[in-house]
Amino acid sequence: MPYKLLFVCLGNICRSPSAENIMNHLIEQYDLSDNATDSYRDRIVCDSAGTGGYHVGSPPDARMTYAAKMRGINLVGAARKFQVEDFDNFDLILTMDKENYRDVLRLDAAGKYGDKVRLMCDFCRHFDVKEVPDPYYGGKDGFDYVIEILLDACEGLLEYLISEKKVVINNS
């Protein structure tokens, strides 16, 4: 069974699809640089969702897509809303800011899934920030900043998954 990651923001058109696609990009890079016979791509599955439903079905925001492209990352996907079933369907739920974190936990009525829900920035190694700021109403710099934070956090997350043996591949 692959280890399943769900990235969550508000609209699922800026931050969480970036996190999903950056994570997939880093996983591909790890696979290319590894001499393993096995691949992380088969062991880790990434998805993303929004706590709000305003943009359901929409592709990632064009400004976010441009910022990602400038760092060599292609954004793909269509927005969907977070659903209660996601608690069971995913191993780890990474929220972009504290409001997303609270909104997700509010849907866990029985308080069963708290251990699965984390703030994305807990995995940053270089940026000393608690949240990935919402870039939607700001300028270009905000979108570039989101990409830089997420590159750091995704790298830290991947190293955590490997070092904590959440994902193991066969090396030879």
Nearest CA-CA partner of 28 in 90, 94, 68, 72: 72
Using CA atoms, how far residue 33 sits from 40, 41, 51, 63, in Å, is: 11, 13, 35, 30
# of chain residues touching ligand 4NP (CB under 6 A): 12
Q: Contact letters (x/-) for ligand 4NP, 73-112, by CB under 6 A?
A: ----------------------------------------
Strand residue runs (E) in 76-157? 92-95, 117-119
- Would you report the helix, strand and coil content of the chain in percent, each value rounded to 5? 45, 15, 45
3-class DSSP assignment, residue 67: helix
Binding flags for ligand 4NP, 25-64, as an x/- string (CB under 6 A): -------------------------x---xx---------
Question: Residue 12 or residue 21: which is nearer to ligand 4NP going by CB?
Answer: 12
Q: Does 145 bind ligand 4NP (CB under 6 A)?
A: no
Q: Which is nearer to ligand 4NP, 54 or 112 (CB)?
A: 54
Task: Check binding of 136 to ligand 4NP (CB under 6 A).
Answer: yes
For the annotated catalytic residues, the residue numbers are 9, 15, 134
